A = this chain, B = another copy of it.
Amino acid sequence: MSESTAASQRLAFFQNQLQNAPCAAEEPKIKTTMESMTEERQKATFDVRELTYFLDGGEKFTKIREKFMMELERDPTFRMYDMYDVTKDQIRERTMEKFRTIVHYVSAEPVPIFTMRMQTISLIDPGFWTRFGVHYGLFFGALRGSATSAQFSHWVSKGALALNGMVGCFAMTELGHGSNVAGLETTATFDEASDQFIIHTPTITATKWWIGGAAHTATHTVVFAQLIVRGKRYGTKSFVVQLRDTHTYKLMPGVNIGDIGKKMGRDGIDNGWIQFTNVRIPRTNMLMKHTKVSRAGEVKEPPMAQLTYGALIQGRVAMVVDSGNIAKKAVTIAGRYAAVRRQFSSNPHDAQETKLIDYAIHQYRLMPLLAQAYAFHFTGVETNKLYDDLMDKLESTQPDDETMGEVIDTLKETHATSAGLKAFCTWSTLSAIEACRQTLGGHGYSAYTGLATTYNDFAVHCTWEGDNTILTLQSGRYLVSCYREALAGKSQPEGVSYLNHLDTLLNLGCGVKTNEEILNFDVIQEAWGVVTANVVKKAGDDFEVSLKAGMSPEAAYEECSQARLAAAKIHSYGYIFRRFAQAVKSAPEKLQPVLTKLCLLYGLYSIEQNAGFFLQYRYFTPSQMDYVRGQVNVFCREVRQEYIPLIDAFNYSDYMINSPLGVYDGNIYEKYFDQVKRQNPVGGEHPYLPLIQSLLRRNIEDDEPLEDDDEDDE
């Protein structure tokens, strides 16, 4: 017998032993976490890949996203596994390193493709997304929106587009002033003698605050300041100011900048504060597309308030899209963990503990969030389309075109819709992230499992680009005005089309005869229509009462703010359900059954969460509401069957998920343990041995007082 034959026989023997070992001992078969995951995948009744294509808008786009994921994963500056342990200073520097890679793509890729790349990056490294966005979205966006074409060319030639020779930031908010841009204190006073503006920070509260990129990155900024010419104030305008020497990075004279320091999240972005002390800039640094100041100090204001909504809408739409994407990440982590984590046993005959996901309450915690992630995804897609259509219209319509009125109406609608949706989707997603984090039990508190950081990074979405409460009130204000127009007989656009049927909806009452009728898109849509019409009517009527009592419109709006807030929230629920239902109807036939279940779950769960309104306005009877509650549980169970395939369809790579508990193969414990050990190697010296020794080995007798000696001195 040759040596190699003997070796292979020994090998075969051991393999045999290993394979037979469990059977020989007749121990019950315990499934590994990977096996537990595999069995979930076998439950799919649809083709996961087909659903991915549908979500991405076609196979072509799926391929592009996969290309992005691979490129980022292999880029060493984009390594993410150690991000939870780096300090603020390290993360800042690393974020800067990434600029070079991305600058390469921004010049090579068409805008829609580059936008998709940035959407992918936002999921991986939201801090970088912001820091890069500050230059391109805010600084460059301000040039595009407010500079004359000569000014625009000038700054492009200086390197504003190529990000070569200059980096910009956007100095709007101040320490004492956020949402109210008209109330900013920084001044830009025209000095006729020198043909310059003097940019000045008059008080501590006028200090520019939260300025992304200011602390270490930007050489230039667009400053929002009060234009003052010959002693007269003309309101807030924007000015380009150089902050630093573009070679040495030393501050320019009169410019004082500091670091805002540690934040809740997104530490990759170097937010700073800026004070200007009589900083002089050429007159032509004022962005003069709208208001102009001549050499002689003549101020020419635009004939009508400029249409600057466009830029605002873009940011908000991006956040609706980001909400859907981040929500998908959160449910992926929580969902995969729930498929393989076992706890207690609901069946005493089972040798193994029960999967979390097989508990009714866990289904109730997760399945509606999965449905919501789908709902937000489709809403994001539709809102993007609305925005693109609007931009096309704006670009192709001249101020004196007949259709301009219609375009303005669309603009108003899109503005209000995106404001309401931005607030609604970011709030809901923030809660969803926290809810998902909590489903991880104790492990949700580890930085490495990802959702704590996701929460901290995401939270700022509720405040920036319009505080959510203020945006919701704006949306409510729009609804009140639409309601009043509808009462006056003016037909309302698609987003608020329910207002065109007020008479019917307000008098519909209990619209359903049998319980089973409820499980229907049209019925749920009608239910939301009735409730929304009523809640909007409530706000509109409150407003009317205040007006009749002699209040100014502003005061009347203030008086009905709680009603406006409620109206806007309920309106968003109905709007999102319609978008979801519409997307399901447009889906490939084979995908419809599973998507229909998801959509019904979303609709029923949302109704349950707002039961008060449906009962208040008597669309449902109490017993129908009981049925709805019951059906939420039924649909949770239904969706649970295929929830892993539904998660897989999001097609997020393990690199993007960046959580050992959300890995595709289900091997959660090994990967989690590996991650913890890699980031916190065992062994080594005790970090504060003398300190702990001196505590543990302290001489208690030292603490004892001198014994009191009652005897007199002798």
Residues from 158 to 183 in A contacting B, C-beta threshold 8 Å: 159, 162-167, 173, 175-180, 183
Which residues of B are found within 8 Å of A364, using beta-carbon distances? 561-562, 565
A262 interface neighbour in B84, B178, B617, B669, Cβ under 8 Å: B84
Assembled-state Cα–Cα distance A176/B445 (Å): 15
Contact B246 A207 (CB under 8 A): no
0/1 interface trace, chain A 98-113, chain B, CB 8 Å (1 if under): 0110010000000000
0/1 interface trace, chain A 251-284, chain B, CB 8 Å (1 if under): 0000011111111110000000100000000000
Contact B612 A696 (CB under 8 A): no
Q: Which residue of B lies closest to A344 (CB)?
A: B180
Q: Which residue of B lies closest to A175 (CB)?
A: B669
A42 at the interface (CB under 8 A from B): no
A361 at the interface (CB under 8 A from B): yes
A210 interface neighbour in B85, B442, B462, Cβ under 8 Å: B442
Contact A445 B463 (CB under 8 A): yes
Contact B263 A445 (CB under 8 A): yes
Copies of chain A in the complex: 2
Residues from 92 to 141 in A contacting B, C-beta threshold 8 Å: 92-93, 96-97, 99-100, 103
Which residues of B are found within 8 Å of A361, using beta-carbon distances? 469, 473, 561-562, 565
Which residues of B are found within 8 Å of A353, using beta-carbon distances? 180, 183
Which one of A45-53, A484-492, A680-688 is at the interface?
A: A680-688
The answer to whether A700 and B183 touch (CB under 8 A), given A445-B459, A467-B441, is no
Which residues of B are found within 8 Å of A89, using beta-carbon distances? 687
A669 interface neighbour in B205, B473, B622, Cβ under 8 Å: B205
Which residues of B are found within 8 Å of A676, using beta-carbon distances? 258-261, 273
A100 interface neighbour in B257, B437, B633, B695, Cβ under 8 Å: B695
A225 smallest CB distance to B (angstroms): 18
Which residues of B are found within 8 Å of A162, using beta-carbon distances? 700
Contact B359 A468 (CB under 8 A): no
Assembled-state Cα–Cα distance A584/B100 (Å): 64
A179 interface neighbour in B179, B441, B473, B673, Cβ under 8 Å: B441
Contact B612 A618 (CB under 8 A): no
0/1 interface trace, chain A 631-651, chain B, CB 8 Å (1 if under): 011000000000000000000
Assembled-state Cα–Cα distance A344/B178 (Å): 10
Which residues of B are found within 8 Å of A672, using beta-carbon distances? 175
Contact B680 A219 (CB under 8 A): no
Contact B175 A673 (CB under 8 A): yes
A147 smallest CB distance to B (angstroms): 21
Q: Which residue of B lies closest to A459 (CB)?
A: B445
A576 smallest CB distance to B (angstroms): 20
Assembled-state Cα–Cα distance A693/B96 (Å): 11
A652 at the interface (CB under 8 A from B): no
Residues from 422 to 449 in A contacting B, C-beta threshold 8 Å: 430, 434, 437-438, 441-442, 444-448
A401 at the interface (CB under 8 A from B): no
The answer to whether A249 and B217 touch (CB under 8 A), given A562-B360, A673-B207, A676-B261, is no
Contact B261 A446 (CB under 8 A): yes
A670 smallest CB distance to B (angstroms): 6
A96 interface neighbour in B342, B467, B688, Cβ under 8 Å: B688
Which residues of B are found within 8 Å of A696, using beta-carbon distances? 159, 163-167, 219, 246
The answer to whether A258 and B92 touch (CB under 8 A), given A164-B698, A180-B343, A464-B442, is no
Contact A559 B344 (CB under 8 A): no
Residues from 656 to 706 in A contacting B, C-beta threshold 8 Å: 669-670, 672-673, 676-677, 679-682, 686-689, 691-693, 695-698, 700
Contact A260 B446 (CB under 8 A): yes
Contact A442 B178 (CB under 8 A): yes
A216 at the interface (CB under 8 A from B): yes
0/1 interface trace, chain A 180-223, chain B, CB 8 Å (1 if under): 10010000000000000000000011010110000011010000
A280 smallest CB distance to B (angstroms): 22
Contact A686 B216 (CB under 8 A): yes
A460 at the interface (CB under 8 A from B): yes
Contact A164 B700 (CB under 8 A): yes
Q: Which residue of B lies closest to A557 (CB)?
A: B346
Which residues of B are found within 8 Å of A246, using beta-carbon distances? 696
Q: Which residue of B lies closest to A256 (CB)?
A: B682
Which residues of B are found within 8 Å of A183, using beta-carbon distances? 343-344, 353
A452 at the interface (CB under 8 A from B): yes
A625 at the interface (CB under 8 A from B): yes
Complex A-B, nearest 5 residue pairs according to Cβ-Cβ distance, in ascending order: A611-B612, A264-B452, A262-B447, A615-B615, A259-B680
